A and B are shown apart, each in its own frame.
Chain A
Amino acid sequence: MPPEVDAEAHPLVATPSILAGKRNRLPGPAGERRPTGAFPPRSLETMLAMAEAVFSTSERPLPADRLEYLRRELPDLLNRAAPRGRLMFRLGTFAISTIAPLLIGRLPPLRRLPLDVRIRALRKMEASPFVAALIAVRAVLCLVYYEHPDAAAEIGVRVGPNGRLG
């Protein structure tokens, strides 16, 4: 069955139908989305809690629709990694969830902390020897997040009418 691709889609940011969660996707590679291999919900919650901290600013919290978009897109991406890659991410999110709060004297898990405390914890972790896990997970968050058209526009990425960047 050939994959369905939106006629409106263009290469750099998500289209309205993707944002609405309507876009059909290609089936994944072998082993993808088998219940035992799927990216665990708890790790996803940690990633989303981290996303709220990374992408919030003092002017606004992370808009709910962007968080929802991440909730849909992240597992779709991560479930296509091979089991070892998925395990590394699980370990990475576990490290963030436990170490970041401990570094500021709070009890894990990270996702239970209020936003401002989470930000403080993650900043501390970024300056600690455990930074590698944080960088890896943040990189994946960014790579999906900045494909949201509003997030891209906010950092000055100007997509022209033909889909090209200005």
Chain B
Amino acid sequence: MNVVHGRDHAGDLEVSTEVVVVGSGAGGAVVAATLAEAGMDVIVLEEGGHVRPEEHARMRPSESLRHMWRDAGFTLAFGVGRSPMINVMMGRCIGGSSALTGGVCFRVPEYVLGDWRALGLTDFTPEHLEPYYAEVEENVHVEDVPLSARSRSTQLFGEGAEKMGFSLESMRRNTNGCVGWATCNFGCPERAKMSVDISYIPRAMKAGAAVYSDCLVERVTTNGRRAVGVSGRVLNGPNGAPGGRLTVRAKRVVLACGAMFTPLVLKASGIGKGSGQVGKNLTLHPAFRIMARFEERVAGWNGALQSAYSSAFEPDGIQLNSVFVPPAILAATQPGIADDHVRRAKTLEHLAIFGANLHDEAGGVVRRGLGREPFVTYRMAKKDAAAVPKALRIAGETFLAAGAKEVFLPVLGLEGFSPDEFRKIDLEKISPKRLECTSQHPLGTCRMGVDASSSVVDDRGQTWDVEELYVTDGSTVPTSLGVNPQLAIMTLATRFAQRMADRRPS
């Protein structure tokens, strides 16, 4: 069975099914496969297009941005108060953001589960989650990244870390046969990343699920207190514009549009007004990249894109993650005009990079904007704002300890610093508005909880307001995780799906 391309479907599309899953990313794909394998009649609707992994594998990064990324990668969360503007990255394709990950997989840290239990979600212990983790980890082939896969960029940071008194640990990733092209975010030439378009979606289809690309869901349709389907548009107009009407009748509706779009569909459907929580509590794991220039040739693009991390600074809310980017994107970070710029670009091979993520408090809100775009604002908590200079200081000092000649901070308009200059700079004085900040991890906007007044879904993923309407994506995560979320999202989705499979919708 193949993915049905909505673009090629003429006119309106009307179908009936037992379960409709909206969104084919990490949360949606897992539920679709689990329910289809349990014998249910499942349809998956995805707004984005279908690009086969072998096609994505042959795209340049800028082509991947055009065909796989939402808004070509230019989505913004507007910083309120002393918060930076944040570039929020997401996928819009079969596989969703899962197709763009660096493959990093973390289980939810025990202290985070402790926070969830304190909110009343008492089931969430490591022991309870173990079978769900085990199932997901097997299905997406989670494995340790061997030391030999570390790029020179990561090795250098690791050498600095040892001198600074902390160490790097190996990450785990959902890969099978990675040879270190370091282009994970833009398609894997070896198809070694076991994202859901390679793992769960084919399983769902094998078990009989029908998967449609280019189908935009606008609303959930209800019959009193119960979901009875979804409606929207088939993107079969000129150049993929909305064309025919999309109508799906279903006994159960599962929303998995991601933390930015599930709240918009709920709001457009008038669902969840009671709690006032839909679209609130957005966490982003604001991320910063710190670069350093070394005398030696680093060529950090040789090796795994992400391979090692340190949680030594978790008490400060900081997680350090190895990362790299393809040369054209690295060049985009280089300042200067004409000779100044080209001269700097010629030294890309000497640059090392490391990333820092914040374990943030919920400071964001997703609102309906004009048209289809969400309007996202983010107010960084004081504690998180205080962690930024700390993170930059730690990463910069670590590179210097490894022998870096120059350190580059993610601050608009700042040149590189020599070791002496870096040690003198007062990082607390840098205005947050000048920070270059990104997020790949929007979470929490339809959070799971134990009562209808403070959450959007219960601990089975069902909305408090409407029966047979479930949410199974990153929006249900009750608090910031502080670590990369895809494994947590897939694990929660497995747990939700197995409970759904126990009871067929009547």
Instruction: Using CB atoms and an 8 Å cutoff, list the residues of chain A in contact with chain B.
Output: 1-3, 5-6, 9-14, 25-34, 53-58, 73, 76-78, 80-85, 88-89, 119, 122-123, 126-127, 131-132, 135, 138-140, 142-147, 152, 154-157, 163-166
Contacts and interface: CB of A to CB of B under 8 A. Distances in A.
Given A11-B59, A30-B216, A142-B331, A82 B346 contact: no
B327 A146 contact: yes
Question: Dominant SS at the B interface?
Answer: loop
Contacts of B58: 5-6, 9-11
A30 B72 contact: no
Nearest to B71: A82
A110 to B, nearest CB: 12
Interface in B326-340: 326-329, 331-340
B389 interface: no
Given A5-B55, A83-B371, A85-B74, A11 B337 contact: no
B183 interface: yes
A3 B334 CA distance: 33
Contacts of B370: 83
A39 to B, nearest CB: 11
A4 to B, nearest CB: 9
Contact of A83 (B49, B187, B373): B373
Interface string B337-365: 11111100110110000000000000000
A55 B477 CA distance: 45
B332 A140 contact: yes
Contacts of A30: 216, 235, 237, 240-242, 372
Interface of B: 5, 7-8, 48-49, 51-52, 55, 57-62, 65-67, 70-72, 74-76, 92, 181, 183, 186-187, 189, 216, 235, 237-242, 299, 301-302, 326-329, 331-342, 345-346, 348-349, 369-373, 412-413
B337 A126 contact: yes
A119 B59 CA distance: 33
A131 B434 CA distance: 10
A34 B241 contact: yes
Given A11-B181, A85-B72, A73 B62 contact: yes
Given A132-B412, A155-B348, A3 B72 contact: no
A142 B189 contact: no
B55 to A, nearest CB: 5
Contacts of B335: 126, 135
B76 A77 contact: no
Given A1-B7, A27-B240, A57-B342, A142 B49 contact: no
Given A9-B59, A11-B181, A135-B412, A81 B72 contact: yes
